[in-house]
Amino acid sequence: SRVYPFFGAHQAGITTPAQDRLHFAAFDVGERTTREELRELLVEWSAAAAQLTQGLEIGETGAVGGSDLAPPEDTGEALGLPASGLTITFGFGPSLFETADGVDRFGIADRRPESLVRLPRFQGDALKPEYTDGDLCIQACADDPQVAVHAIRNLSRIAFGRASLRWSQLGFGRTSSTSTSQATPRNLFGFKDGTANVKSEEAAAVDEHVWVGAGEDAAWMTGGSYLVARRIRMLIENWDRTQLQEQELVIGRDKAQGAPLSGGTEFTEPDFDASGAAGQPLIDPTAHVRLAHPAQNSGVRLLRRGYNYVDGNDELGRLDAGLFFLSYQRSPEQFITVQRTLATDGLNEYIRHVGSAIFAVPPGATAGGFVGETLF
Ligand code: HEM
């Protein structure tokens, strides 16, 4: 079982090879919570995260080492389980800095990065408040769902009285690889997802597209990143009635190998100028890979780290399923650019964006410090 360090220049869970499972949680900080209490919460969260990610029980007495007359410090369901590659990544939403009515609750409004604002409304957005926004977020990824859920549960419990869960999302089956050592997984449309992702081995691309560099943003964000979360419902039943040829046209890649329709194998660069015998472009003008490609987006790339989800079914008996899209980028502008280009994406007929959030993800902490120390 893998164990990743919690402390480091960058937070773990971004370029870390994507684990199999996700529990993501967004929190609201209580109306009466003070700046000092918020800071203390971040200190306690980091201390607990440092233990959890090493496969340890939290607190001094863990799950069963304390008094028989007190509730245990650790809830116990991960006892006996290994660390399972757990990473815990913290983020700050725009509303932490300033509420919708312009209140600076924690005296940090002047430190809000200029670009940290709610995402603009995109064409086709059908956002529901129950999957949207949040003052704080925690992304817990692990190869065992019990370990990821245990982490979110215990961190929520620590927050009691200071911050409460606003919404959360379970995910399975990573829909991206973030390392060249990983095979490309498939999303619920059955296509390989993550082929052209920014991979951790591409050091120059990671620096250029993922990490905030010194002097280019609020100083406390140096070494951090921005996280966009979008709950994207997939209209699975419509997709499943669609001809294979149409499915491939919509994506712009073949379903078996994930090769671009212009030819080659999975990792061949798409040739957007290639045309067929009848002169039609081999990669359709509305194909997802054409529109999402850096060539259509001023060179912009994203580090995608999403997961599949299935949350039961709706009242019409359709699966409530989709892609919990997560992307990391050095500036929210990157996501905004790509998502705007996707306005004419053929995929839009089969998907609906129903949740949205953005968070500033501060740099990592050094041992003895805490995530968010550069801000508080
Ligand atoms: C590529 C599926 C939403 C950005 C791909 C690929 C697939 C795919 C199959 C090709 C393989 C790969 O390179 O990973 C989907 C599905 C979505 C979705 C099913 C919704 C349910 C999004 C969104 C964005 C996005 C919302 C960003 C705004 C990208 C990018 C690429 C890509 C940047 C790589 C393009 C390249 O450089 O070739 N997606 N995607 N996707 N997608 Fe998506």
Looking at the predicted structure, is the pLDDT value of residue 128 above 90? yes
Looking at the predicted structure, is the pLDDT value of residue 175 above 90? no
Looking at the predicted structure, is the pLDDT value of residue 184 above 90? yes
CA distance 285 to 294: 15
CA distance 225 to 300: 15
Residue 233: Cβ within 10 Å count = 23
Quick check: CB of 24 below 6 Å from ligand 1? no
Please list, in sequence order, all residues whose beta carbon lies within 8 angstroms of the beta carbon of residue 306, skipping any fewer than 6 positions away. Answer: 171, 174, 175, 176, 187, 193, 323, 324, 325, 326, 327
Average pLDDT over residues 2-16: 98
Find the 251 Cα to ligand 1 centroid distance in Å: 8
Which of 182, 193, 262, 337 for a ligand 1 pocket mutation test, highest count of atoms within 8 Å of Cβ?
A: 193
Strands (DSSP E) along the chain, which ranges?
21-29, 87-92, 136-142, 163-174, 225-234, 303-304, 307-313, 319-329, 351-361
Tell how far CA 368 is from the center of its chain: 26
**pLDDT score, position 324:** 98
Write the residue with the smallest CA distance to atom 36 of ligand 1: 293
> What pLDDT digit, counting tens, does each position of 81-121 carry?
999 999 999 999 999 999 989 999 999 999 999 999 999 99
Looking at the predicted structure, is the pLDDT value of residue 372 above 90? yes
Is 159 strand, coil or helix? Answer: helix
Looking at the predicted structure, is the pLDDT value of residue 174 above 90? no
Find the 325 Cα to ligand 1 centroid distance in Å: 9
Average pLDDT over residues 164-185: 92
Is 51 strand, coil or helix? Answer: helix
> What pLDDT digit, counting tens, does each position of 208-266 carry?
999 999 999 999 999 999 999 999 999 999 999 999 999 999 999 999 999 999 999 99
> What pLDDT digit, counting tens, does each position of 291-323 carry?
999 999 999 999 999 999 999 999 999 999 999
Token readout for 117 is 């604002």
Model ipTM value: 0.98
Write the residue with the smallest CA distance to atom 15 of ligand 1: 193
Tell me the domain boundaries of the chain.
21-361
Ligand 1 atom closest to residue 196's alpha carbon, by position in its atom list = 13
How is the chain split among helix, strand and coil, in percent rounded to 5?
25, 20, 55
176 pLDDT tier (thresholds 50, 70, 90): confident
Tell how far CA 339 is from the center of its chain: 15
> What pLDDT digit, counting tens, does each position of 58-77 carry?
999 999 999 999 999 999 99
Write the residue with the smallest CA distance to atom 24 of ligand 1: 339
Least trusted range by pLDDT, from 130-139, 145-154, 166-175: 166-175
Residue 266: Cβ within 10 Å count = 16
Relative to beta strand 136-142, strand 225-234 is: unpaired
Is 346 strand, coil or helix? Answer: helix
Looking at the predicted structure, is the pLDDT value of residue 1 above 90? no
CA distance 86 to 13: 8
149 pLDDT tier (thresholds 50, 70, 90): very high
Residue count (the chain): 376
Write the residue with the smallest CA distance to atom 17 of ligand 1: 323
**Global confidence as pTM:** 0.97
> What pLDDT digit, counting tens, does each position of 16-74 carry?
999 999 999 999 999 999 999 999 999 999 999 999 999 999 999 999 999 999 999 99
- 194: alpha, beta or left? (left if phi > 0; alpha if psi -120 to 50): left
Find the 84 Cα to ligand 1 centroid distance in Å: 27
CA distance 278 to 320: 40
Quick check: CB of 261 below 6 Å from ligand 1? no
Please list, in sequence order, all residues whose beta carbon lies within 8 angstroms of the beta carbon of residue 23, skipping any fewer than 6 positions away. Answer: 140, 145, 148, 149, 151, 152, 168, 169, 170, 171
Which of 289, 291, 309, 335 for a ligand 1 pocket mutation test, highest count of atoms within 8 Å of Cβ?
A: 289
CA distance 325 to 351: 12
**pLDDT score, position 77:** 97
Find the 338 Cα to ligand 1 centroid distance in Å: 10
Judged on CB neighbours under 10 Å (0-12, 13-18, 19+), 47 is middle
Q: Which residue shows structure tokens 């009515």?
A: 101
